[in-house]
Amino acid sequence: MRMELINLEGGKGDFAHAYEPEQLDLGDERIKLGSPTSVVGKVRKVGTELVVSGRIETCVQVDCDRCLGPIQLPIGTDFSVEYITGSAYEESQTAELTDELMSVSVFDGDSIDIDEIVQEQILLSIPTRSLCRVDCKGFCEKCGADKNAGDCGCVEKEIDPRWAALKDLI
Ligand SMILES: [Zn+2]
Ligand SMILES: [Zn+2]
């Protein structure tokens, strides 16, 4: 979905959309979108600046870091993205670049790609590490069995070999 800036009345415009999972590309095959993703928001244009803000709600499926089992992760995130026009950005380049300007995006043209914002914001709200449950045991290092399913019977070495060598010295 694109917001045509020419359609903004008085520099304002609202949008709402629901995406089917296949309509968004998160660019990461380990992350699957679940239920329809909804976005509601508004665009405000003031001079050379444009602010797109709103809320995204969806559910994603990611792999558990330890056992690789699927985890359903509900996501609800508020966002606000600032844009400035290409020409305003170039002007700011000649001036000193402030932190504030580093975090804005540049837009050029007549429309803003809402899909791109939604994809980016979903990725930003997914934690870098996820566990299916706090005490997920993961796989056995020796036989590869899923230890959540039960004890595989392997005895895991508890002493680091380097310490074991030290112990012999005593
Ligand atoms: Zn797990
Ligand atoms: Zn084992």
pLDDT of 64: 94
Among 21-25, 53-57, 131-135, 152-156, the minimum mean pLDDT is found in 152-156
CA–CA dist 98, 93 (Å, integer): 10
- Give me the mean pLDDT over the 12-40 stretch: 91
- Give me the mean pLDDT over the 139-151 stretch: 91
Residue (of 83, 31, 34) closest to 57 by Cα position: 34
Those residues whose beta carbon sits under 5 angstroms from the ion ligand 1 are 64, 66-67, 69, 132, 136
Among 37-41, 45-49, 135-139, 164-168, the minimum mean pLDDT is found in 164-168
Q: Tens digit of pLDDT for each residue in 43-64?
A: 998 888 899 999 999 999 999 9
Measured from the alpha carbon of residue 156, the closest ligand is: 2
pLDDT band at residue 166 using 50, 70 and 90 as cut-offs: low
pTM of the model: 0.76
Q: Say how many Å lie between the CA of residue 58 and the centre of ligand 1.
A: 22
Share of the chain above pLDDT 90, in %: 49
Q: Say how many Å lie between the CA of residue 130 and the centre of ligand 1.
A: 8
Measured from the alpha carbon of residue 137, the closest ligand is: 1
Q: Say how many Å lie between the CA of residue 77 and the centre of ligand 2.
A: 40
Q: Say how many Å lie between the CA of residue 139 and the centre of ligand 1.
A: 9
Q: Say how many Å lie between the CA of residue 149 and the centre of ligand 1.
A: 11
CA–CA dist 55, 8 (Å, integer): 19
- Give me the mean pLDDT over the 122-141 stretch: 92
Q: Say how many Å lie between the CA of residue 138 and the centre of ligand 2.
A: 11
Measured from the alpha carbon of residue 151, the closest ligand is: 2
Helices within 126-169 (DSSP H only): 161-169
